[in-house]
Structure 1
Amino acid sequence: MKKALVVFSGGQDSTTCLFWALKNFDEVETVTFDYNQRHKEEIEVAKKIAQDQGVKNTVIDMSLLNQLTSNALTRTDIEIKEGEGGGLPTTFVDGRNHLFLSFAAIMAKAKGINNLITGVCETDFSGYPDCRDMFVKSLNVTLNLAMDYNFVIHTPLMWIDKKETWALANELGAFEYIRENTLTCYNGIIGDGCGECPACKLRSDGLQKFLAEQGGKLHV
């Protein structure tokens, strides 16, 4: 039996990965991290989506991350701003994907799961270094060596942009569900979000490009 563990935030990308996992694996679980993020609603959204799809969801306390680094996702007194002069956005959380995948791997090994799935992407993203393919491949090797276990980290979205991510959701028969039930917005608004924050702008731009190409071809 092929088992997989999805690193799951309840956002567009990780929910698309959840539906992808349900199609490609026999048994799927999700893990969500509580790192005192700006919009705690994402934890409840992740729980609800997992429940809707009939998969187990585990929430892990990662509040230590909040103590180690300051950014707009963990501090309400830091303004959400896009990167300036080639710098990273204020929403970048140092070490987040590194820690999340490492803790997910520990959990997966204890459950006899080899496959880890994450929604990171370097094609259409905010420039986060821990979303890059090179980082994921490097960490995959490190985890295998660190635990003497054959992990495979899957990144279904790595080489596709947001328009293509919506297309994948449509192919999986999950377009409307993902559009209506996921939380991508940095201001904590479910669905199409606030329309103003960087995450919403990226999501909306891809959505509009996807819809412009469809003309009634949605799988609903």
Structure 2
Amino acid sequence: MKQANEQVCNNHVSSAGEAAWNADSHSQAHAGRKQGKAVVVFSGGQDSTTCLFWALQRFEEVETITFDYGQRHKSELEHAKAIAGKLGVPHRILDMSLLNQLAPNALTRDDIAIEQEEGELPSTFVEGRNLLFFSFAAVYAKQIGARHIVTGVCETDFSGYPDCRDVFVKSLNVTLNLAMDYGFVLHTPLMWLDKADTWRLADELGAFDFVRTETVTCYNGLPGDGCGECPSCKLRKAGLERYLMERKQEEGASR
């Protein structure tokens, strides 16, 4: 059933979403020329900050939007605001506390442990989060005349989250365009990158040190390298170590 649904969705995307994907391809083909206005779905973490630097190189105007959904790592809100300020990017925080009432989970409740049972979604999965975030980002984007929405979701390191899959993003892109009669393009620069690749991209964007020291990826809200113990910190650290090893090997080979 799951494969059948994804096939139907992919078929629908190939027709109804053709214009959006062609626009995205056109944008990539003309990477040297900046496009219009973009909104970055922004948490102040490694992935979304890398995407912010990516967007700043590609779009004439960039704004960021952050969601306060009662997350236990509240410090990400302040770091997101600070990062946007340092980069001179307009920043807005939207109250999404209702999400915590509807879908309590380990990211919003201290009394729920961060864990994952085999074959089950992690306790950090927030039901409907990206569906709501991207939808509200689209509403905001249309109000300010932006057609591009950038998000750091990734299918390679997505921990089983269904709302980080490429097929979900593509299907939602089509749905948003139909629902709002607008030509949105949802960009996912990290979709097929693992954490080592994401560090590489940050380095290529000239943002490696900034991303490493200024962002908050830790589920416990600690900046930089974080607590080193939560799943998010472990994933970030493993990717960093692998990228640094690869970079060292590449530098040695080029001498």
User: With structure 1 as the length reference, what TM-score do the two structures score?
Assistant: 0.96
Per the alignment, residue 36 of structure 1 pairs with 70
Percent of aligned pairs sharing the same letter: 69
Deviations along 1:12-64, whole A, 9 cap, x unmatched? 00000000000011100000000011111100000000000000000000011
Q: Partner amino acid for 2:244?
A: L
Q: Partner amino acid for 2:164?
A: C
Per the alignment, residue 37 of structure 2 pairs with 3
Deviation of the 1:209 alpha carbon: 0.1
Paired residues, what number? 216
Distance 1:86 1:211 in 2: 32
Per the alignment, residue 87 of structure 2 pairs with 53
Deviation of the 1:117 alpha carbon: 0.3
Q: Helix, strand or coil: the match of 1:186?
A: coil
1:126 aligns with 2:183: no
Structure 2 residue runs of 5 or longer lacking an equivalent are 1-34
Would you tell me which structure has more helix in proportion to its own residues? 2
Per the alignment, residue 17 of structure 1 pairs with 51
Q: Helix, strand or coil: the match of 1:204?
A: helix
Deviation of the 1:214 alpha carbon: 1.3
User: With structure 2 as the length reference, what TM-score do the two structures score?
Assistant: 0.83
Structure 1 residue runs of 5 or longer lacking an equivalent are none
1:112 aligns with 2:145: yes
Larger Rg: 2
Query: Root-mean-square deviation (CA), in Å?
Result: 1.0
2:201 to 156, 168, 176: 168
Per the alignment, residue 17 of structure 2 pairs with none
Distance 2:157 2:65 in 1: 24
Deviations along 1:128-186, whole A, 9 cap, x unmatched? 00000000000000000000000000000001110000000000000000000000000
1:184 to 208, 211, 217: 217
